[in-house]
Structure 1
Amino acid sequence: MTARAFEKRRVGQTSLEITTLGLGAASLAGIFSRVPADQARATVAHALEVGINYVDTAPQYGLGRSEHLVGDVLREGRDGVVLSSKVGRLLTPVSDAEQDKGAWVDPLPFNQVYDYSYDGIMRSYEDSIQRLGLNSIDMLFVHDIGVTTHGVEGNKPLWKQLETGGYKALRELRDGGAIKAIGLGVNEWEVLMAAFELGDWDAFLLAGRYTLLEQTSLDPFMSTCVKRGASVIIGGPFNSGILVGGDKFNYAKAPDEIITKVRALEAVCKDFNVPLPAAALQFPLLHPAVCNVLPGPKSPAELDGILEWWDVEIPAELWKTLEAKDLLAPGTPIGA
């Protein structure tokens, strides 16, 4: 198979360059529905074959399952592939009766313990290296720190761990050359503004908060990234499926006002003969801070469907029409 010539963008001010389309490996670990291991590995391999050079995984995904599966493929050929994983959760072995599987179907036999401390981040990094079976990870993201995951009071001691030791661990790993970039991977932009107060970061993986449907992070977060030279990777470009015909938004049943806005977006896209998912996939890259869009297909066939949307040419007038109909936040970049 001939690889595509994807555009590449630089990650922050690092030496890393990644394709503007990446592969998120959460779904491959079996969230809500089972994904056979061979199918998961085939999806990763297919992404590399078509020219995608960026893969993101995490200890949380399938409680170690995703890292194992991604490692299986990358051990066969890592050249040119940029890999990110996450820190903030340690995995501890448990019996079936003790395990909290969450939304994962057929996860590995572990429970997760939150730890954003210096020692916790160092151990998480080393554990990920072992699960992957590789000798390096390019980017590390602090995973799911913030009030969305932990609540206001629950987040305070965890943030203190990051503030007093965790950030130092990440800087040591990056400055010592073990990794090349550091950041946070979250579903809320507000905590990223707090992260800027701790120091400099290379990239942020933000899920769901800068999409065709929602631009709540536009200012001050995205604008601050431009000023500080930090890149943004957009996870969840389809907002949990609502922008590809599903009924979920933020992992729950979509409220009426969201459904109404999706219908309005779809009507404009239909006028331009553009599938709504194609517009959703390509929209984030209009912002100068964004270096990558990170969908999470569960199979090679799903990835091929995403590539079809990726290839759709979207006229500039579509974005201008969305702006004129107030379907985008004021000040949203829409290109030349």
Structure 2
Amino acid sequence: MARTFEKRRVGQTSLEITTLGLGGASLAGIFSAVPADQARATVSHALDAGLNYLDTAPQYGLGRSEHLVGDVLRTRRADAVMSTKVGRLLKPVSPENQDKGAWVDPLPFDQLYDYSYDGVMRSFEDSLQRLGVSSIDILYVHDIGTATHGVEANNMLWQQLASGGYRALRELRDSGVISAIGLGVNEWEVLMEAMALGDWDVFLLAGRYTLLEQTSLSPFMTTCAERGASVVVGGPFNSGILVGGATFNYAKAPEAIVAKVKAIEAVCKEFNVPLPAAALQFPLTHPVVCNVLPGPRSPAELDGILDWWDIKIPTELWTTLAAKGLLAVGTPIPGGTA
């Protein structure tokens, strides 16, 4: 049965998305396989539950995620606001020579980084083909920054974006082909650099504004508020540490992180709130956050997320975390700031 979700506006656009969305990376089989029927069923289940925002990317399964999401959206396009990403072109490769990365059963492509004008335009058209749809709502520049490329390579790729890629995105948006543009990254610092290029509508930032970490609070989130840009929070569980896992930023969690998680969990237990429920709902206490984007692998995992979503979080939980110094100073919480 569909729930009624709060909707928030994306930047200053006309798009409105539910505060909970569905991320499409896990559906493509990262680290372990996800059967195609299960992936499609998860997308359908999300729409049936009332979620209207779906995110995917060419990188996810090297085309697999876009195909799977598109299989569902072709019959339910009116139900959804959809985003995908630019910056990687897919080139055919023989499976024995393929760099599969962390994808268990990707399509037979390798990825080529290209943030140029022509690269952005081609990536957009390729995504339309893979999805099998005639329109996309939001385009993100994917994984530009030194964390992905290193300093030297990123300087070259950033020049591609600055000299042509951004113009391509603006042309697509200004012509009405897409409704919003942004970046999808894991490091907030590059988003501050992007703001110097021009105006953006929304940023998909993974792992940097969570119950565990608020490093992006200032100057990034404060600048978004000043400029009327929204933030979609990806990775709300910090790659597993906030749902009982042992990984943080896709690696074994350091002892200091483990200790902080235990301290946060102790406060949650004090209020009889599961840690994952608090982690899932926390980002939305910030006014620039329009959506939280977890990545369930099955309808059953999505149901677990929805159960956490339905739990009422008492204001006192947030104020207790703030009083114990477990939230960064200045973090917006109900009734004030940390």
Q: Same fold (TM over 0.5)?
A: yes
User: What's the offset of the Cα at 1:152?
Assistant: 1.1
Q: Distance in 1 between matches of 2:246 and 2:123?
A: 35
Report the equivalent of 2:145. 146
Q: Distance in 2 between matches of 1:25 and 1:43?
A: 10
**Partner-residue secondary structure (3-state), 1:198:** coil
- Corresponding letter in the other structure for 1:134: V
**Partner-residue secondary structure (3-state), 1:201:** coil
Report the equivalent of 1:97. 96
User: What's the offset of the Cα at 1:240?
Assistant: 0.1
Report the equivalent of 1:155. 154
| Counterpart mapping for 1:94-133 below 5 A | 94-133=93-132
Q: Which moved more, 1:183-192 or 1:145-154?
A: 145-154
Q: Distance in 1 between matches of 2:194 and 2:22?
A: 25
Q: Distance in 2 between matches of 1:322 and 1:69?
A: 40
Q: Distance in 2 between matches of 1:207 and 1:77?
A: 27
Q: Distance in 2 between matches of 1:286 and 1:335?
A: 7
Report the equivalent of 2:176. 177
User: What's the offset of the Cα at 1:80?
Assistant: 3.2
Report the equivalent of 1:18. 17
| Counterpart mapping for 1:27-42 below 5 A | 27-42=26-41
The answer to whether residue 78 in structure 2 is matched with residue 83 in structure 1 is: no
Q: Distance in 1 between matches of 2:304 and 2:240?
A: 14
Q: Deviations over 1:257-301 (max 9, x none)?
A: 100000000000000000000000000000011000000000000
Report the equivalent of 2:302. 303
The answer to whether residue 136 in structure 2 is matched with residue 137 in structure 1 is: yes
Q: Distance in 2 between matches of 1:195 and 1:77?
A: 33
| Counterpart mapping for 1:304-319 below 5 A | 304-319=303-318
Q: Deviations over 1:145-176 (max 9, x none)?
A: 00010011110000000000000000000000
Report the equivalent of 1:167. 166
- Corresponding letter in the other structure for 2:285: L
Instruction: Please tell me the root mean square deviation across aligned C-alpha atoms, in Å.
Output: 0.4
The answer to whether residue 248 in structure 2 is matched with residue 253 in structure 1 is: no
Report the equivalent of 1:322. 321
The answer to whether residue 332 in structure 2 is matched with residue 333 in structure 1 is: yes
Q: Distance in 2 between matches of 1:24 and 1:239?
A: 14
User: What's the offset of the Cα at 1:98?
Assistant: 1.4
**Partner-residue secondary structure (3-state), 1:163:** helix
Q: Distance in 1 between matches of 2:65 and 2:251?
A: 23
Report the equivalent of 2:285. 286
| Counterpart mapping for 1:157-306 below 5 A | 157-306=156-305
User: What's the offset of the Cα at 1:97?
Assistant: 1.9
Aligned residues: 335
**Partner-residue secondary structure (3-state), 1:91:** strand
Q: Deviations over 1:222-252 (max 9, x none)?
A: 0000000000000000000100000110011
Q: Distance in 2 between matches of 1:10 and 1:43?
A: 25
Please say if residues 43 and 72 of structure 2, whose CA atoms lie closer than 8 Å, have aligned partners that are also in contact. Answer: yes
**Partner-residue secondary structure (3-state), 1:111:** strand
User: What's the offset of the Cα at 1:324?
Assistant: 0.3
Report the equivalent of 1:6. 5
Q: Deviations over 1:159-195 (max 9, x none)?
A: 0000000000000000001000000000000000000
Q: Distance in 2 between matches of 1:3 and 1:151?
A: 44
Q: Distance in 2 between matches of 1:8 and 1:206?
A: 19
**Partner-residue secondary structure (3-state), 2:76:** coil
- Between the two proteins, what is the percent identity of the paired residues? 78
Q: Distance in 2 between matches of 1:81 and 1:72?
A: 13
Q: Distance in 2 between matches of 1:114 and 1:102?
A: 15
Please say if residues 47 and 79 of structure 2, whose CA atoms lie closer than 8 Å, have aligned partners that are also in contact. Answer: no
Q: Distance in 2 between matches of 1:238 and 1:303?
A: 14
Q: Distance in 1 between matches of 2:97 and 2:168?
A: 31
Q: Distance in 1 between matches of 2:213 and 2:153?
A: 27
Please say if residues 2 and 49 of structure 2, whose CA atoms lie closer than 8 Å, have aligned partners that are also in contact. Answer: yes
Structure-2-length-normalised TM-score: 0.99
User: What's the offset of the Cα at 1:133?
Assistant: 0.3
Structure-1-length-normalised TM-score: 0.99
Report the equivalent of 1:51. 50
Question: Gaps (5+ residues) in structure 2?
Answer: none
